[in-house]
Amino acid sequence: MDFSIRASTLEDCKDIARMILELAEYEKVLDQVKVTQKDLEQDGFIKNPFFHGIVAEVPEQHRTKEGHAKVGYALYFYTYSSWKGRALYMEDLYVMPEFRGKGIGKALMSKVAQLGLAAGCTQLNFAVLDWNKPSLDFYLSQGCFDVTADMGYHCMRCEGAALEQLAQGDT
Amino acid sequence: MDFSIRASTLEDCKDIARMILELAEYEKVLDQVKVTQKDLEQDGFIKNPFFHGIVAEVPEQHRTKEGHAKVGYALYFYTYSSWKGRALYMEDLYVMPEFRGKGIGKALMSKVAQLGLAAGCTQLNFAVLDWNKPSLDFYLSQGCFDVTADMGYHCMRCEGAALEQLAQGDT
């Protein structure tokens, strides 16, 4: 199946917001999603954007019955490793279920890698859920490694009341 | 002990590079560090910097015997959650051993949280080594949670030859 990969524009935010919800549904965390189309428009297309996106698009004849031509996306942003320097983080990689197995996910990830290398990045980091075996196997087959399993890194987070309290300090 | 926390400048890169090596030595990965003072100067102080830094400084009389007044630092950058929107990632949080237990680490982390909230971020993410019990306990005591243990997120990475190959694709 023909498809094209290109940088996302403001006009893609509606479809990206839709697919973020589809991905969250797959991950069984639909209630966690607060990000809206408007947030994406505001945060991704300002002078110092908080993220960059790419979308996978299929031609007219392959559209879904609902009329969707944008069938996959990846969100990424630049990060920094204090050991290795410039790096990239892939926040999401998603392909709609009926379009899987056609190389779209791999093409999206390949594009992210290309963009990262072009910007001088030497690492591509991302997270995967341990129960998501198909994704984990795909990533491992692409030469990625599991930093948590191999080096013991745990992802940590501070949010909500704890973040507010941390910011207030008590010194 | 008196200390001050402030945003890092180009002049701090020498000390930050020194402390990055100290931290890597503590984590037993000194051979992994490729980042130099020059890299930090180039990547952190351009128009769209790859990271931001803050440093902890002590007054003249508390300097180390080697003359170091900058005794701790944190590096952070803005990221994005496709569920929660604007977020922050703390790459490093470090205080020189002889200055620990004085609230400097907490003050640095508090400052990172303040800066994040001021920029509209709702999450502060970071990673911790599972064998680094003192750090893990400190973070948990500050209301952080272990996303790997609680939600099953594993950190993944692609680098070196695998990243080059991914970028080339084979479609």
Spatial distance between the Cα atoms of A7 and A21, rounded to a whole number of angstroms: 20
A139 among known catalytic residues: yes
* B36 and B119 inside one domain: yes
Across A77-90, average pLDDT: 97
CB pairs under 8 A between A and B: 257
Confidence (pLDDT) at A159 = 97
* B82 and B120 inside one domain: yes
> Exposure string (b/e) for B107-142, b if CB count within 10 Å is 16 or more?
bbbbbbbbbbbeeebbbbbbbbeeeeeebbebbeeb
Residue A54 belongs to some domain of the structure: yes
> Exposure string (b/e) for B83-97, b if CB count within 10 Å is 16 or more?
bbbbbbbbbbbbbbe
**B50, B88 Cβ separation under 8 angstroms:** no
Percentage above 70 pLDDT, chain B: 99
pLDDT band, residue B170 (cuts 50/70/90): low
Confidence (pLDDT) at A27 = 82
* B54 and B81 inside one domain: yes
Q: Does pLDDT of B171 surpass 80?
A: no
- Return the residue of A nearest to B81 by Cα: A91
Residue A143 belongs to some domain of the structure: no
Spatial distance between the Cα atoms of B147 and B33, rounded to a whole number of angstroms: 26
Q: Of these residues, A80, A94, A139, A153, which one is catalytic?
A: A139
Judged on CB neighbours under 10 Å (0-12, 13-18, 19+), B28 is exposed
Residue A84 belongs to some domain of the structure: yes
Which of A23-32, B63-72, B144-153 is least confident? A23-32
Q: How many CB atoms lie within 10 A of CB B103?
A: 17
Find the CB nearest A145 among B24, B153, B157: B157
* B151 and B95 inside one domain: no
B157-168 pLDDT per residue, tens: 999 999 999 999
CB contact under 8 Å between B145 and A166, yes or no, is no
CATH assignment at residue A41 = 3.40.630.30
* B24 and B84 inside one domain: yes
- Return the residue of A nearest to B32 by Cα: A83
B111-130 pLDDT per residue, tens: 999 999 999 999 999 999 99
Residue A50 belongs to some domain of the structure: yes
CB contact under 8 Å between B81 and A153, yes or no, is no
* B10 and B45 inside one domain: yes
Q: Does pLDDT of A102 surpass 70?
A: yes
Residue A85 belongs to some domain of the structure: yes
Q: Does pLDDT of A171 surpass 80?
A: no
Across B36-59, average pLDDT: 96
Token readout for B115 is 């800066």
Confidence (pLDDT) at B7 = 98
Residue A94 belongs to some domain of the structure: yes
Find the CB nearest B169 among A107, A152, A162: A107
What ipTM was predicted for this assembly? 0.94
Which chain B positions have a beta carbon within 8 Å of A92's beta carbon? 82
- Return the residue of B nearest to A24 by Cα: B83
Q: Work out the mean pLDDT of chain A and round it to a whole number.
A: 96
Spatial distance between the Cα atoms of A147 and A152, rounded to a whole number of angstroms: 7
Q: Does pLDDT of A155 surpass 70?
A: yes
Spatial distance between the Cα atoms of A64 and A96, rounded to a whole number of angstroms: 10
* B149 and B116 inside one domain: no
Distances (CA, A) of A122 to A118, A158, B15, B41, B157: 10, 27, 24, 18, 10
For residue A68, give its domain range: 4-126
Q: Does pLDDT of A63 surpass 60?
A: yes
C-alpha count within 13 angstroms, C-beta hemisphere, residue A92: 28
Find the CB nearest B106 among A84, A92, A169: A169
| Number of independent structural domains in chain B | 2
**B69, B2 Cβ separation under 8 angstroms:** no
